[in-house]
Amino acid sequence: MTVYRIRSKSRSWDGVPIGILILDAAYPCIPGNVGNATTYDFPVRYKEVKGSSIDRLLNSRDPALLAPFIQGAMELEAEGVRAITGACGFMALFQPQVAAAVGVPVFLSSLMQVPFIRHALRPCAKIGVISANAGALTGEHFRNAGISSDTPLAVYGMEDQPEFRASVLEESGTLDSAKVEEEILGVADRMTRENPDVAAIVLECSDLPPYARSVHIATGLPVFDFTTMIRHVHSALVPRAYDGGCM
């Protein structure tokens, strides 16, 4: 018989291994988006970081956001999650501080997969990064995600794509998924034509995983995004049981 013990008297539920810090933004989170709970075949718990608008995080890189990010992570830990992820690659800005503030693993940015991918490729191969706003990514974001300055990258952005800009960056309130898909495929095509040595693609933005399959089919390359990272983390928190014969 298995004996279970509570880990905290401050909550009345269990069984949610993944907590997700999410921006204080308003636009449709379609299936496949990090912010849509149907994306996962396991439970997740969201925590909105109050005041963390897209503009404050991407454009202003407002250091005053650090405190609410840490507060949100501490609340998720107190609520019982066993790992914390982000929902915007630009959250890498606060990765070291948030990881130091809690006692569970923290994975705030999909860019944290880049070092892992780098070791799997030929030394001359590039990793393509498709970002919500390539111009807003800085060396600090890359360093905080563990990406060394000598990592060969091809960084392209969605900031000049009309539907993506309006729906996500400007929060118009609507999102035409077919148009965004067409836009990201155009960006991926230009990136791979201009950089034929790209051997893998990372989608920085949490709004782009719904189109990962289409990008993979169009380019023939492995595509990593927030959902590949979150599923990987979940598999380490909830290892599957194996049974059956070996004949």
Q: Which amino acid is at 96?
A: P
pLDDT for 148: 96
**Following DSSP, what letter does each residue of 72-139 receive, concatenated?**
HHHHHHHTT-SEEE-SSGGGGGGHHHHHHHSSS-EE--GGGGHHHHHTTS-TT-EEEEEES-GGG--H
Q: pLDDT tens digits for 103-116? A: 999 999 999 999 99
Q: Can you give the residue ranges of every domain in the chain?
A: 18-109+231-237, 110-224
Give the per-residue pLDDT at 221. Answer: 98
Helices (H) and strands (E) in the chain, counts: 9, 8
**Which tokens belong to 75?**
């609340």
Q: What is the pLDDT of residue 5?
A: 64
pTM: 0.93
Tokens 């905080």 belong to 144
List of the chain residues with pLDDT < 50: none
CB atoms < 10 A from the CB of 156, how many? 22
The architecture that CATH gives domain 18-109+231-237 is 3-Layer(aba) Sandwich (3.40)
Per-residue pLDDT, 244: 81
Please give the CATH topology (third level) of the domain spanning 110-224.
Answer: Rossmann fold (3.40.50)
Longest dimension (CA), the chain: 61
The span from the CA of 199 to the CA of 221, in Å, is 6
Q: Which residue has the tokens 């965004």?
A: 180
The per-residue pLDDT for 215 is 98
Percent helix, strand and coil across the chain, each to the nearest 5:
45, 15, 45
140 with 213: CB under 8 angstroms? no
- Rounded to 10 deg, the angle between the 212-219 and 177-194 helix axes is 40
Position 1 scores a pLDDT of: 65
